[in-house]
Amino acid sequence: MPPRVDPGLCNGCGICVELCSEDVFFGTPGFGKIHTEKAVVSHPEVCWHCNWCVEKCPTAAIRLVIPLSMHIPYKDAPG
Amino acid sequence: MRTQIVDSDVLVGGGGIAGLMAAIRACEMGARVVIAEKGHTLTSGAGSAGNDHFLCYIPEAHGDDLDAYLRELREGKGGGIANLVGATHAKVWLEKSFDIVKLWDEWGIPMRAEGDWTFAGHAFPGKLRARLKYWGKNQKSVLTKAARKRGARIFNRVMICELLGDGRAVSGAVGVHTREDRLLVFRAKAVFVATGEIRRLYPGITPAMMANDTLPITLTGDGRAMVFRAGAELANMEMIYRHVGLRNFARQGQGSWIGVYRDPFDKPLGPYVTRPDRWHGDKTPEVDKELFARIFESARGPVYMDCRGISDEDLEFLLHSLSNEGNQAVVDFMAQEGIDLKRHRLEFMTYSMIAVGGIFRDERAATNVSGLYSAGDEWGNGISAASVFGWIGGENAALHAQRAPAASRGGEQATVDAVRRRVSSFTRTDGGTVYDWKDATYALHQTMRDYAGVVRSGPMLEAGLAHLARLKAKVHEGLRGANRFELTRCLETVNLYDMGEILVRSALDRLESRELHRRADYPITDPLRNGKAHTVRRQGEAVVFDWAPLEKKAPAARKERHAPAR
Question: DSSP assignment of B207-250, as one string?
Answer: TT-TT-SSS-TT-B-HHHHHHHHTT--EE-TT-EEEEEEESSS-
**Closest chain A residue by Cα to residue B51:** A50
- Decide: residue B340, CB within 10 A, 0-12 exposed, 13-18 middle, 19+ buried: middle
List chain A residues with CB under 8 Å of B249.
66, 70-72
8-state DSSP, B184:
E
Cα–Cα distance for residue pair B435/A64, rounded to 1 Å:
30
pLDDT reported for residue B379: 66
Select from B117, B134, B139, B140 the least CA-distant residue to B320.
B134
Q: How far is A28 from chain B (nearest CA, A)?
A: 12
Query: Given CB atoms, is B262 within the 8 Å cutoff of chain A?
Result: no
The answer to whether A21 contacts B211, with C-beta atoms less than 8 Å apart, is no
pTM for the full predicted model: 0.96
- Decide: residue B116, CB within 10 A, 0-12 exposed, 13-18 middle, 19+ buried: exposed
Q: Is B190 left (phi over 0), alpha (psi -120 to 50) or beta?
A: beta
Domains of chain A: 4-70 (3.30.70.20)
Q: How far is A11 from chain B (nearest CA, A)?
A: 22
Cα–Cα distance for residue pair B374/B177, rounded to 1 Å:
22
Secondary structure of residue B529 in the 3-state scheme: helix
Reported as a pLDDT band with limits 50, 70 and 90, residue A35 is: low
Backbone dihedral angles phi then psi of residue A43, each to the nearest 5 degrees: -130, 65
Cα–Cα distance for residue pair B169/B407, rounded to 1 Å:
9
pLDDT reported for residue B381: 62
The answer to whether B347 contacts A73, with C-beta atoms less than 8 Å apart, is yes
List chain A residues with CB under 8 Å of B159.
none
Q: Which of B209, B210, B345 is facing A74, going by the closest CB pair?
A: B345
The answer to whether A19 contacts B42, with C-beta atoms less than 8 Å apart, is yes
Backbone dihedral angles phi then psi of residue B375, each to the nearest 5 degrees: -165, -175
pLDDT reported for residue B89: 86
The answer to whether A21 contacts B216, with C-beta atoms less than 8 Å apart, is yes
**pLDDT tens digits for B46-64?**
999 999 999 999 999 999 9
Name the residue with higher pLDDT: B273 or A31. Answer: B273
Query: Given CB atoms, is B439 within the 8 Å cutoff of chain A?
Result: no
User: If you average pLDDT over every residue of chain A, what do you get?
Assistant: 89
Cα separation values, B78 from A18, B125, B308, B553, Å = 36, 15, 26, 26
Residues of A (35-74) whose Cβ lies below 8 Å from B? 42-43, 45-52, 54-55, 64, 66-67, 69-74
The answer for residues whose C-beta is within 8 angstroms of residue B199's C-beta and 6 or more apart is B213, B215, B216, B217, B219, B220, B354
The answer for residues whose C-beta is within 8 angstroms of residue B74's C-beta and 6 or more apart is B82, B83
List chain A residues with CB under 8 Å of B484.
26
The answer to whether A22 contacts B328, with C-beta atoms less than 8 Å apart, is no
Cα–Cα distance for residue pair B309/A44, rounded to 1 Å:
38
Backbone dihedral angles phi then psi of residue B177, each to the nearest 5 degrees: -70, 135
To probe the interface with B, which of A35, A40, A48 has the most B CB atoms within 10 Å? A48
The answer to whether A23 contacts B212, with C-beta atoms less than 8 Å apart, is no
Cα–Cα distance for residue pair B103/B139, rounded to 1 Å:
12
Query: Given CB atoms, is B333 within the 8 Å cutoff of chain A?
Result: yes
To probe the interface with A, which of B37, B38, B40 has the most A CB atoms within 10 Å? B40
Q: Is B118 left (phi over 0), alpha (psi -120 to 50) or beta?
A: beta
**pLDDT tens digits for B481-514?**
999 999 999 999 999 999 999 999 999 999 999 9
Cα–Cα distance for residue pair B457/B102, rounded to 1 Å:
48
Secondary structure of residue A23 in the 3-state scheme: coil
Cα–Cα distance for residue pair B283/B260, rounded to 1 Å:
9
3 state SS for A58-73 = CCCCEECCCCHHHCCC
Predicted complex ipTM: 0.95
Mean pLDDT in runs of 10 for chain B (566 residues)?
A: 96 98 98 98 96 95 92 71 73 95 98 94 91 97 98 98 91 97 97 95 92 95 96 95 95 95 97 96 93 96 97 98 97 97 97 92 94 86 91 98 84 96 94 92 97 97 98 96 97 98 98 96 96 94 94 49 39
Query: Given CB atoms, is B182 within the 8 Å cutoff of chain A?
Result: no
Give the up-direction half-sphere exposure of residue B418: CA atoms within 13 A in the CB hemisphere.
14
List chain B residues with CB under 8 Å of A27.
483, 485
Beta carbons within 10 angstroms of residue B432's beta carbon: 9
pLDDT reported for residue B145: 98
Give the up-direction half-sphere exposure of residue B390: CA atoms within 13 A in the CB hemisphere.
32
The answer to whether B179 contacts A71, with C-beta atoms less than 8 Å apart, is no
To probe the interface with B, which of A21, A25, A45 has the most B CB atoms within 10 Å? A21
Cα–Cα distance for residue pair B544/A28, rounded to 1 Å:
46
List chain A residues with CB under 8 Å of B209.
1, 45, 67, 69-70
Burial B285-317 (b: 16+ CB within 10 A, else e): bbeebebbbebbeeeebbbbbbbbebeeebbeb
List chain A residues with CB under 8 Å of B180.
32
